[in-house]
Chains A and B, each alone.
Chain A
Amino acid sequence: MAKASFEIPKLDEYPEVPPVVPGTMAHSKPYVAKPDFQAPLEFPGELPDDWHDKAIDAMGDLLGKYRSLRVYLDSCVKCGACTDKCHYYLGTQDPKNMPVGRQDLLRKVYRRHFTFAGKYFPKLVGAEDLTKEVLDDWYSYFHQCSQCRRCSVFCPYGIDTAEISMAAREIMDRIGVGQKYCNEIIGKVYKIGNNLGLPEKALADTLEGLEEDVEEDTGVAVKFPLDVKGADILVVTPSADFFAEPHVDGLIGYGKVFHEAGVSWTLSSKASEAANFGMFIGSYENMRRVSLRIREAALELGVKRIIFGECGHAWRVAYSFLNTLAGPFDFLDPKYPVPQHILEFTWGEIQKGTLNIDKSANDDMVVTFHDSCNVARASRMGSEPGGQFKIPRNVIKAVCNHFVDMAPETIHEKTFCCGGGGGLLTDDLMELRVKGAKPRMEALKNVIEDYGVTNMAAICAICKSQFTKVLPYYGMDMDMIVSVHQLVSNAIVLTGQTSEDDEEESTEDAA
């Protein structure tokens, strides 16, 4: 079990809602961005003297731009429906991690400055001035929300705490209080093209290495093309797919699927990152700037289609916002949705029968599936509502013999966040990440004990990294996490493939 300087939650067989313990996570704060990390995003580097007025002005500006913010700050009746729905509350017991508790940090200032009742009867309606202490609370608790939208499923008015958190982070950025992790990464995307700061040369080398590995394993020359002009499909994938485990096994899976489908595809060094951290910080301008790279890459390479790799928040921005931010995509082939998810493509090929699948290749596993929060509640796959649940499971079942779902209240639209989404996947928030993973760990532990589950498949770079890191804290093996396309990769028998398995089988046949 991994060592920790904090208490690791005990997993319960039947999850219970814990009692409120105020202030348990008041100390949790990510590193603040230095001026150098603020500048590329066009945010001030430090807190100005008139920060209070600037913050209120920023709030007013956002209230005029986002109907969600205005309506949600007005509409909450404090019914409590959301109070036991956030994984961070369930894991920390801190009432400011209840969705409404988190919203109220912003709402009390909104009421004080923008409502009649709050201006004249602040005590009565719980309105408060924006003090330095309140700002500190904002910084702490708006960086304890992974924008997973689970609360919005249960709210009778659909109030989405993600919208409130994004607005709060944008206000803080505008007064020079940015979060290092997100803002440094966005700067890297502007400068180098991806979150990891992987330059073009390194990327080309990595892909070449992948080609060699796959050829060594299978005897088939599967290509991982980069910046190929005139290719049909531009593939945009999270940069973790280029080298992190188990992400890279997923990327190998995409390559094999494209190879067998016989389509021409390419990655782009300019758009070598699917993730868009502009969403995490609630900045429309930065989210747009990050998105425009993809449009530019598609135009420069002259592709006909765009397909996104396995990534949760990235798929939200791609599916729900890309057309808004960087559209219209009338220069692409109108026969295909823009963009498509890699699972939509793979499921299509499976249905067409272009892939030669040997399900027994995954017989050493009993697999369960973690619905990534932003795929589940903020996007879709396929043409039917709920396709985002069916298509990944269909693909898994098509390549695995043993699949089991976790408890119904922890999957589909009620899925729990991995605990590391929304710009929180940083080591300075390790305690929060471990505690926030508790509900998912409980559900996983139950299917391990009841059904002998050995692996959990995920379709998000953040989920994969987060679980790899967090599982050991709960006494589970970090290698349990697999990419869905890793399962596909295992099961695909490439045309002309000569693998060890085949040789073994042929010896058996001969004997």
Chain B
Amino acid sequence: MSFLTIAFAVLFYVATVLLVVGLVRRIALYWKTPAPLKIPTTPAPVTQGGVVLRMFREVVFFESLFKSTKWTWLFGWLFHIALFAVLFRHLRYFTESESIMAVVAFVSPLFKYLAFAMIIGLLGLWVRRLFVDRVRYISAPSDHLMLLLLLLIGVSGAMTTFVVHTDVVAVKGFFRALMTFNFSDMPNLPTDPLMVVHLALVALLMIIFPISKLLHAPGVFFSPTRNQVDNPREQRHIADWARKLES
């Protein structure tokens, strides 16, 4: 095994552990922290089913952002949807299931071009961040660097698809070996620079996910203004720490 292959194997194990442990701890923290008062932004659904629907519209269509700013919505939504399409295509590196491979193969002719949509979305968001004075004012260096990181991941990945092909069989063999802990027949990773950059940056993204603003992904599900049922008169809502005040 090459040094590069071993280094990346270690890197991806570390990144995965940090991502999973970090996210689980953060989600547990959100879960454990009570919401002592009913604060849904009204008009709000009056049933649990209605809340599920509201959250679905929020997460899938970015409903609130659409109400707010059409340009931000357009670029933001384009980026996220394209990212999920592109990620879906990446399933082929992680599974031996023939049915999943068949679905990926079926959607690939369309989905692979969504890499461009993802890049356009990110560029649009960055232009906004640089040129709208209000958004520039609120941007920290990390906000710009996050866009740069995602752009580099997108561009390097797209280039391995459209410009300089890499040995995808070897890449898949590498990740399958990592997933199955079966290192005896682990192939060496291709050494082309695009691949190395792409994988390194993805590992970096995984590492910073649970300590950055990417926490908006789990956060939205825990947002009391979006996930609470509007029924305070019908049902008494009280947190444990608040109940203690009553005795």
CB distance from B19 to the nearest CB of A (A): 14
Contact B142 A82 (CB under 8 A): no
Contacts of A495 in B (CB 8 A): none
Contacts of A154 in B (CB 8 A): 64-65, 67-69
Q: How far is the CA of A95 from the CA of B245 in the complex (A)?
A: 39
Select the residue from B36, B138, B235 with max chain A CB neighbours within 10 A.
Answer: B138
Contact A156 B42 (CB under 8 A): no
Q: Which residue in B42, B212, B235 is a CB contact (below 8 Å) of A379?
A: B42
Contact A68 B134 (CB under 8 A): no
Interface string of A408-443 (1 = CB under 8 A from B): 000001100000000000000000000000000000
Question: Is B7 in the interface zone, CB < 8 Å from A?
Answer: no
Assuming the contacts A80-B69, A98-B134, A324-B238, asked whether A74 and B219 have C-beta atoms less than 8 A apart, the reply is: yes
Contacts of B145 in A (CB 8 A): 124
Contact B141 A123 (CB under 8 A): yes
Which segment, of A6-14, A252-260, A315-323, A446-454, faces chain B? A315-323
Assuming the contacts A68-B225, A79-B72, A155-B64, asked whether A388 and B134 have C-beta atoms less than 8 A apart, the reply is: no
Select the residue from A20, A158, A321, A339 with max chain B CB neighbours within 10 A.
Answer: A158
Contact B39 A320 (CB under 8 A): yes
Assuming the contacts A152-B225, A386-B43, asked whether A65 and B38 have C-beta atoms less than 8 A apart, the reply is: no
Contact B33 A70 (CB under 8 A): yes
Interface residues of B in 12-43 (CB under 8 A from A): 26, 29-30, 33-39, 41-43
Contact A385 B44 (CB under 8 A): yes
Question: Is B154 in the interface zone, CB < 8 Å from A?
Answer: no
Contacts of A160 in B (CB 8 A): 39, 41, 225
Contact A74 B39 (CB under 8 A): no
Contacts of A320 in B (CB 8 A): 37-39, 232
Contact B39 A76 (CB under 8 A): no
Question: Is B137 in the interface zone, CB < 8 Å from A?
Answer: yes
Contacts of B157 in A (CB 8 A): none
Assuming the contacts A20-B137, A63-B33, A327-B236, asked whether A152 and B222 have C-beta atoms less than 8 A apart, the reply is: no
Q: How far is the CA of A377 from the CA of B42 in the complex (A)?
A: 4
Q: How far is the CA of A125 from the CA of B213 in the complex (A)?
A: 10
20 CB contacts below 8 A, A to B, read A20-B133, A68-B224, A79-B72, A79-B76, A80-B69, A81-B69, A115-B211, A124-B140, A124-B141, A125-B140, A152-B225, A156-B220, A158-B58, A160-B41, A323-B233, A324-B37, A338-B233, A378-B42, A385-B42, A388-B43
Interface string of B111-137 (1 = CB under 8 A from A): 000000000000001001100111101
Interface residues of A in 116-164 (CB under 8 A from B): 116-117, 121, 123-126, 149, 152-160, 163
Interface string of A383-398 (1 = CB under 8 A from B): 1111011000000000
Contact A324 B64 (CB under 8 A): no
Question: Is B241 in the interface zone, CB < 8 Å from A?
Answer: yes
Contacts of B236 in A (CB 8 A): 323-324, 327-328
Which 10 pairs across A and B sit closest by C-beta, in order of nearness?
A: A126-B140, A75-B219, A154-B68, A158-B225, A385-B43, A80-B135, A83-B134, A81-B68, A158-B226, A158-B223
Contact A153 B64 (CB under 8 A): yes
CB distance from A123 to the nearest CB of B (A): 7
CB distance from A308 to the nearest CB of B (A): 12
Q: How far is the CA of A74 from the CA of B44 in the complex (A)?
A: 24
Q: Which residue in B36, B45, B58, B143 is a CB contact (below 8 Å) of A66?
A: B36
Q: How far is the CA of A360 from the CA of B127 in the complex (A)?
A: 57
CB distance from A167 to the nearest CB of B (A): 12
Interface string of A313-353 (1 = CB under 8 A from B): 00000011101100110000000011100000000000000
Contact A157 B223 (CB under 8 A): yes
Q: How far is the CA of A378 from the CA of B44 in the complex (A)?
A: 9
Classify chain A's interface size. Answer: 35 or more
Contacts of A101 in B (CB 8 A): 137-138
Contact B138 A66 (CB under 8 A): no
Nearest chain B residue, comparing its CB with the CB of A126: B140
Q: How far is the CA of A37 from the CA of B212 in the complex (A)?
A: 41
Question: Is B87 in the interface zone, CB < 8 Å from A?
Answer: no
Question: Is A462 in the interface zone, CB < 8 Å from B?
Answer: no
Contacts of B8 in A (CB 8 A): none
CB distance from A294 to the nearest CB of B (A): 14
Assuming the contacts A81-B68, A385-B43, asked whether A67 and B134 have C-beta atoms less than 8 A apart, the reply is: no
Assuming the contacts A152-B41, A324-B238, A388-B43, asked whether A95 and B134 have C-beta atoms less than 8 A apart, the reply is: yes
Question: Is A244 in the interface zone, CB < 8 Å from B?
Answer: no
CB distance from B37 to the nearest CB of A (A): 6
Contact A83 B135 (CB under 8 A): yes
Contacts of A78 in B (CB 8 A): 129, 135, 138-140, 143, 213
CB distance from B147 to the nearest CB of A (A): 10
Given A65-B34, A158-B64, output 17 extra A-B contacts at Cβ < 8 Å: A20-B137, A67-B34, A68-B225, A75-B219, A80-B69, A80-B138, A83-B134, A117-B142, A123-B141, A153-B64, A156-B65, A159-B225, A284-B36, A377-B42, A379-B42, A385-B42, A385-B43
Q: How far is the CA of A284 from the CA of B129 in the complex (A)?
A: 38
Contacts of B230 in A (CB 8 A): 380, 385
Contact B42 A413 (CB under 8 A): yes
Contacts of B212 in A (CB 8 A): 117, 125
Nearest chain B residue, comparing its CB with the CB of A84: B134
Contact A163 B39 (CB under 8 A): yes
Q: How far is the CA of A65 from the CA of B224 in the complex (A)?
A: 13
Q: Which residue in B41, B64, B129, B142 is a CB contact (below 8 Å) of A156?
A: B64
Assuming the contacts A80-B138, A156-B64, asked whether A323 and B237 have C-beta atoms less than 8 A apart, the reply is: yes
